[in-house]
Amino acid sequence: MDMATIILTLLSGGVIGFVLGLVGGGGSILAVPLLVYAVGMKSPHMAIGTAAVAVALNALVGLVGHARAGNVRWQCALSFALAGSAGAALGAEAGKAFDGQRLLGLFGALMVVVALLMLRKRRSAENPAVRMTRDNARPMLARILPTGLGTGLLAGFFGIGGGFLIVPGLVFATAMPLSLAIGSSLVAVSAFGLTTAGSYALSGLVDWVVVGWLVAGGVAGSVLGRAAGTLLAGHKRVLEVGFAILVAGVGLWVIAGSLGWQGV
């Protein structure tokens, strides 16, 4: 890697980490476009595999803090993660077999859908004391397992963490508050990312040098993002809407690029 590529990779990681620290999720969906269009990775599949490793490592770092704060419901999170990991493995195999440019186009379409979902106001859950017990395990798992499987399929196919889908999925399946869903989601994000990364790594589709620089930039960016998030805590909804607009714009740009439009 030359110095210009290293700097671009660090900056890309910084952007991803900053967004994660600022708005609490969604930053990983920028990883693949940044690797393709900023860092200059020629292979969309290599970008997806590399991004998956970085997403998993960032999620593991974030999980430590949430676990210490007691924001993880482990039984619910692990059940979701196990079902989703099976889906992620299947999704990753399907993604590798898909044409790279068409995969980018679908990824852009997913970004637009995600942006629209972000614009919806989140509703508070009803049960802050939620726990999986012997009495409620069957009905809870009936919602957790299929939701986790479907989320994992998308995460594996596109090489993303899927937190923007996992969080509402956990709220739907367990009625846990948003704060617990965010913390618990990192268990699944880590599992999905590691599953996808393992699949791509076995096919030689991970650039480990880029991973190192991406994570280094992400650590620095997340520190700045958390600091900015604290200062702008009263404007969090404005930040989320602004980020949703950014994601939609990048998604449309990715779609245009995948179609080979001039000037993109």
- Residue 240 above 80 pLDDT? no
DSSP 8-class letter at 2: -
Q: What's the pTM value of the predicted model, to 2 decimals?
A: 0.79
> Which helix (H) or strand (E) element contains residue 146?
helix 137-158
pLDDT (mean) for 125-141: 79
**Which one is predicted more confidently, 239 or 102?**
102
- Look at residue 123 in the predicted model and tell me its pLDDT: 60
Taking the C-alpha atoms of residue 29 and residue 139, their distance in angstroms, rounded to an integer, is 32
- Pick from 109-113, 117-121, 169-173, 212-216: least confident: 117-121
- Residue 175 above 90 pLDDT? no
Most confident of 58-62, 173-177, 201-205: 201-205
Q: What confidence tier does 203 reach under pLDDT thresholds 50, 70, 90? A: very high
27-71: per-residue pLDDT in tens? 677 888 899 889 999 888 999 899 888 888 878 877 887 888 888
Residue whose pair of structure tokens reads 């604290």 in the numeric block: 230
- Look at residue 264 in the predicted model and tell me its pLDDT: 46
Q: How many C-beta atoms lie closer than 10 Å to residue 98's C-beta?
A: 15
82-128: per-residue pLDDT in tens? 999 999 999 999 989 888 888 888 888 988 887 887 777 656 555 77
For residues 254 and 104, is the Cβ–Cβ distance under 8 A? yes
Taking the C-alpha atoms of residue 188 and residue 183, their distance in angstroms, rounded to an integer, is 10
| 46 burial via Cβ count (<10 Å: 0-12, 13-18, 19+) | buried
For residues 197 and 49, is the Cβ–Cβ distance under 8 A? yes
Q: What confidence tier does 17 reach under pLDDT thresholds 50, 70, 90? A: confident
